[in-house]
Amino acid sequence: MKVGIEQKPLETAEADALIVLVFEGIREERFGAGALFDAKEVEGKSLELTLIHRPVGVAAQRVLLAGAGKPEKFNTAELRRVLAATARHLKPKGIRRIAVALEGHFARADWVTAAVEGVILGDFEPDRYKTENDKKSIESFRVIVAPGSPAGLDDAAEQGRIVAEAQNFTRSLVNEPGNRLTPAKVADAARRMAAEFGLGCEVLEREKMDQLGMGALLGVAQGSAEPPALVVVGYRPVQTRGGGVHLGLVGKGVTFDTGGISIKPADGMEKMKYDMAGGASMLGAMRALAQLKPSIPVTAFIPCVENMPGGRAQRPGDIVTAMSGKTIEVINTDAEGRLILADALTYARRQGCTHLVDAATLTGAIVVALGHLNVGLFASDAALKDRVLAAANAEGERMWPMPLDDDYKEVYLKSAFADLPNVGGRWGGAITAAMFLKEFAENTPWVHLDIAGTAWIDEAKPYTAKGPSGVPVRTLIRLAMDWKN
C-alpha cells in the first residue's frame, strides 16, 4: 500500500473516500452532515461509520464519518482501531484510494503513525488459500493535514508503514498451516527476510544443537519427522549508544502442537498452527528494526520444532538435560514450549545478550487469568519490566504484570528425580511456567510475555480479521527504538 502526507485544505483532497473523525457531543456541520446529527443517524460513537456520497464542498467522491467516541478517551490506540475499521468497511465496496483528515492537534507525528498503522493492519486478510476470492485491498492511503503542519510527518507515516507491514508479516507467518510451515520453512522465511533487509542470519540444525547439549529442545523435537531448527537473526547498529546493552528476543516456534504423547483434545487442535506466534513476532520485530535502526544491538532467537506423538516421541517421566546443565523431569509433553525456550534462553545469554524478552503462546492458564484482552507479563527485573510496560502502553498492546515470587518454585516446582519438573500442577499454571523459564534466564534481566490469549482472534471484529493478531510486535519494536542508555 502506498502511503503519504499531503498538506492542503481537506476540501481539496481528491480520494475515493475521505475519512473524517467525529466525536460524541461535537456536532459536525460540514459535508451536509448536520441533518444526520439532527436525526441521530450520526452520534459519533466509537466505530460508528456513516458513508456520505457526493458530499457537499469537497473534492473527494465520498466522505466517511468515522465515530471516534468520547474526545477525552480518544488516543492513538483508538485512532488505530477506528482507521482499521474504516479500511475494512470501505474495501469491500471497491474503494481503493482513501485519505483521512487529521485536523488541529491531531496533525502530529504520533497520530500520523497510528493512522497509517491502522489502515494497513485493517487491510490484512487470512484468506491466502481461498481459490475463489475477489481479493480487494486498499491501494493508497494519504493523511491530509493543514498547510504549515509540523515537520517530520512524512517520516512518521513511513514509520507507521514499516511497523504495520512487520506486524502483518508476523500475522502471515502465524496463519500458515503446519503442513506448509515446518521448522525448516520458518528458517527459510527468516533467511529470505534477513537477506532482504540486511540482517545477519544463522540456523542451528540438529547436529549443532546436540553438540551444544540442547537436550530440552531436542527432546521435544524427537517425536517428529520434521527436523528442528534454532533460528538466530541479528541486527547491529553502525554506532552503538546503549551503554553495552545487547537485547535478546526469544520466541517460541512450535510450528504445530499436538501435545505429543500427552495429546490435546481434537476440538480446536487445528488452531495449534499458531503455537509459533512468539517466534513469528520476533521475526516481524527484526524486520522493522532493520529499517528503523535502533541504537542498540538486537538478536532474535527462535527455537522451532513440531510437537508430535511419533514412535520416538518423549514420554511422561523422561528426564532430559538442558543446555544449562539442569535436569528436567517431563511430567507432561504438552508443556513443550518452556522446554525449547529453556535452551534458547541459555544460548542467548551465552551469545552475550544482556537483557532478555521472550514471547510465547505458553499456557492456557494465562487465558483463564486474563482472558483474551491482556498479555501476561512476568519479570525478574523491575527496570526492564517498566521499559516493556512503557513500550506496550505507548503502542496500545495491553499487558498485565503477574507475580513471580520465589514461593511458587518452592511450593509447586519440585521433582524427586530431577532438578525441575516441566509443570507445577494445576494451580498458578502461568506463574509456574514463568518460574520454570526464570531458571534459565538466571541472573540476566528478563521479561516473559505469555501471549496464549492474545496472539489469536477467534472471531472477526469490525477492525480486524479472524486469526493472528501480531501481538506483541509493536511493543518489541518500541522497546528497542526507545532504548537510549
For the annotated catalytic residues, the residue numbers are 264, 338
Distance CA(366)–CA(371), nearest Å, equals: 7
CA dist list (Å): 124 to 50, 219, 284, 460, 481: 22, 36, 15, 12, 25
- Determine if the peptide bond prior to 71 is cis (ω within 30°): no
Q: Count of H helices and E strands in the chain? A: 14, 20
Strands 140-145 and 229-235: unpaired
Whether the Cβ atoms of residue 445 and residue 358 lie closer than 8 Å to each other: no
393, 387, 170: which is closest to 296 by C-alpha?
Answer: 387
Are 10 and 103 spatial neighbours (Cβ–Cβ below 8 Å)? yes
CB atoms within 10 A of CB 426: 9
**Residue 309: Cβ-neighbour burial (10 angstroms; 0-12, 13-18, 19+):** middle
The DSSP output letter for 41 is S
Question: How many Cα atoms occupy the beta-carbon half-sphere of 264 within 13 Å?
Answer: 17
Contact 379, 454 (CB under 8 A): no
Please give the biggest Cα pair distance in the chain: 78
Q: Contact, 82 vs 46, CB < 8 A?
A: yes
**Helices 109-122 + 153-175 axis angle, to 10:** 30
Q: How many CB atoms lie within 10 A of CB 254?
A: 28
